[in-house]
Each structure stands twice: as structure tokens, then as C-alpha cells.
Amino acid sequence: MRTTTPSRTRLGLAGALAALLMGAGLATGPAAQAKEKPPTLAELAQRHGRYFGSATDNPELTDGAYTALLGSQFDMITPGNGMKWYATEPEQGVFDWTNGDEIVNLARKNHQRVRAHTLVWHSQLPNWLTSRDWTPDELRAVLKKHITTEVRHYRGKVYSWDVVNEAFNEDGTYRETIWYKTLGPGYIADALRWAHQADPHAKLYLNDYNIEGTGPKSDAYYRLAQDLEAQGVPLDGIGFQAHLALQYGYPSTLEDNLRRFSRLGLDTALTEVDVRMQLPATDEKLAQQATWYRDLTKACLAVRRCVGVTVWDYTDKYSWIPAVFPGEGAALPWDEQLRPKPAYFALREALGGK
């Protein structure tokens, strides 16, 4: 096959950089655009029947260089904040779809699907909800109305919902959230049933972090999934957030763990991947990070019902990490200047592209 990318030696540094940028989906001018483009992460993932996604957030959508890559490299989009309770029902019974709709419309324009996130969580709740006490009957009605209204609004427009987010503690006990404390553990089955009624075609997920490897928290999901299944509750998948950190080690049981959930008849997905490190980022750490991105992608590909991988935004420019873990960062496959990092090339390699 004739290659249309000139050799690096003939082009020198500028040409090599252009080839690199093109490889990451960044066109470097009219001439570059005319060349044969290497497949995107999404196209590579599609060869395996998987998707490759990114989270995004509304304030970033004014950044043209950012949205160009977002619109081209990925085929699944998760709104990082725009569909959360504080954004969608800021006053009781008053719904605001502005941010969620902006992202859904952008995704549609770019022929991307949407992993909707998230209906029931203990965090980012509006004040009207957290600043008073509710009887179980009152809170059940509030929850049902929120889920029903939001899921109906996005009915037919989203691929999946993270229905309940982060329900368990590290030791596998239920997290003492407003939902659990007021409604008991049955709130999870109720939420799934209400979501299913409102959009029977959306895939319904439970989603959490620190469940990538086997352990008490992951076991809690395993048991819950078995219970829900036995009760005939509509549950389609488990989302493994995969907010990893180099200093804590790679979750080497990831593949086996994904597989045991598959065997329950559930889909699995890596839903919020990032691999943070203590700064400064060195070549060595970036190389290790690349290995982790490669390995987690391969783990998903190795498990038949692992449907795809989503990074929690694709660039260090818009990562949540530095604000929450001071001194840590550099967690994503593209750097703050939107240049592809070793992790990006490792992802391509894991997906069978060169």
C-alpha cells in the first residue's frame, strides 16, 4: 500500500511534528488535510465492536481546538456535569436542560452517542434538596419525579444512563447518603425501575470508582447485581470509573473482574478513565502511564461484554484532578497544549492501530 505520509527524515522536525499532530486527528493545514488520515481512536475501537469515548463539560465547548478533537477522535460522549441534579433541577420541580442539551446536540452533530450521567448521586445536589429533612414518602416522590422527568426528556437521545453513582463505601457497606438513610437500599431497585419505565431502550448502569480490581467494594456490586437480577430489576451494566493513580498500583485483577460481571449477563464499561501521577510528569512516569492505558484497554477488549472505554475528558487542560488532588495531574492521553502523549499512542496500539 502506498503511504501518503512522508518519512520523518525527509521532513525534519516540523514535518515529524505535523505527522504526529495528524496522527492525533489534528490537521495541520490544507496540505495535511488532503493526506490519508490515520484512523481515530473511535474507528479503531469500532473494529472491535467497541466505542471510545470522552467526557466533556460545557465551559470547554468554546475552545475550538478542543472541540475539533472531541468531535473527531471519539464516538461516545459523557457530560461531565451538565446532567447532574444541581444542573437539571436547580429548584424543586423546575427543570433546566440547557447544559445537557448543548452536549447532546453537539454529540448528535458529530454522530456520537451519549452515556448520560448521572441520576442518583450524593454529590452535586441542589440546596433545596439537601437543606431540609424529608420523610421517606416525600423523598421517594422527589426522586421518582426527577428520574422520570430527566430520563423522559432524553428518551431516545442517549445510549445509556448511569442511574446510581457511587452507592458503596470502600468496605462494601452501603454509603450513608441521603438516599440510603431515608429510603434504605431499595432506592437502587426503584431508581432502575423508574428509569426503565421512562426510557425502555436506554442501557441502565450502576457506576463507581475503586471497583476495577476485585475486593470488598467490587464484591458488593457483584452481590447487588445478582440480587437485582433475581428480583427482575432492569439493570444492563456496571460502569468501572477507573480513576487510577500511578502511586497506588495497577488493578491487575481488572480483566477477571470485568469477566465475572459479564458472566452475570451484564455489560461492563470503563467509564471515567484517567491515570494521574505526582507532578512533575517525567518521561518514566508518562511511559508507565501509557502502559496502564494500553493494559486497561486490552482488558476491556479481552472481555466480550465490555462495551467500551471513556476517558474523563481527553486532555490535561480540562482535567478535574489538579483541583482535587493538589500536586497531582497529567492524567490524560493529551497534554495541556492538546499534544498527544505516550498514552495516546499506547491506546492506538492496544486498539490494533499503529
Task: Tell me the three state secondary structure of residue 332.
Answer: coil
Residues 17-56 that bind ligand 9MR (CB under 6 A): none
C-alpha 345/C-alpha 42 separation (Å) is 14
Least spacing, CB of residue 161 vs ligand 9MR, in Å: 13
Contact code string over 55-74 relative to ligand 9MR, x by CB under 6 A:
--x-----------------
Single out the residue of 81, 112, 177, 310 in contact with ligand 9MR (rule: CB under 6 A).
Answer: 81
| Count of residues of this chain found to bind ligand 9MR when the rule CB under 6 A is applied | 9
Site for ligand 9MR in 180-219 (CB under 6 A): none
Identify whether 272 is a catalytic site residue: yes
Element (H, E) at 300: helix 283-302
Which of 320, 334, 344, 345 forms a contact with ligand 9MR (CB under 6 A)? 320
**If binding is defined by CB under 6 A, does position 236 make contact with ligand 9MR?**
no
C-alpha cell at position 257: 473482574
Q: Looking at residue 263, what DSSP letter applies?
A: T
Select 22 or 311, whichever has its Cβ closest to ligand 9MR: 311
Nearer to ligand 9MR, 159 or 240 (CB): 240
Known catalytic membership, residue 212: no
Query: Of 194, 274, 269, 271, whose CA–CA distance to 236 is shortest?
Result: 269
Q: Residue 315 phi/psi, 5° resolution?
A: -125, 145
Angle at 84 between CA 162 and CA 136, to 5 degrees: 80
Beta bridge partners of 243: 274
Cα-flanking dihedrals φ and ψ of residue 244, to 5°? Answer: -100, 160
**Min. distance of Cβ 43 from ligand 9MR in angstroms?**
26
Residue 329 near ligand 9MR by CB under 6 A: no
Distance (Å) of CA 89 to CA 143, 256, 345: 11, 39, 40
Among 23, 39, 53, 80, binds ligand 9MR (CB under 6 A): 80
User: What cell does 108 get?
Assistant: 448528535
Q: Which three cell numbers stand for residue 220?
A: 458488593
> For ligand 9MR, what does the binding mask look like between residues 262 and 301, x meaning CB under 6 A?
----------x-----------------------------
- Phi, psi angles (nearest 5°) of residue 211: -125, 15
Identify the sign of the CA torsion 45, 47, 262, 231: positive
Residue 234 in contact with residue 197, Cβ under 8 Å?
no
Report the nearest approach of ligand 9MR to the CB of residue 55 (Å): 7
How far is 331 from 318, CA to CA, in rounded Å? 10
User: Exactly one of 272, 284, 328, 349 is catalytic; which is it?
Assistant: 272
Asked if residue 221 binds ligand 9MR (CB under 6 A), the reply is: no
Q: Which is nearer to ligand 9MR, 75 or 272 (CB)?
A: 272
Residues labelled as active-site residues: 166, 272
Residues that bind ligand 9MR (CB under 6 A): 57, 80-81, 123-124, 165, 241, 272, 320
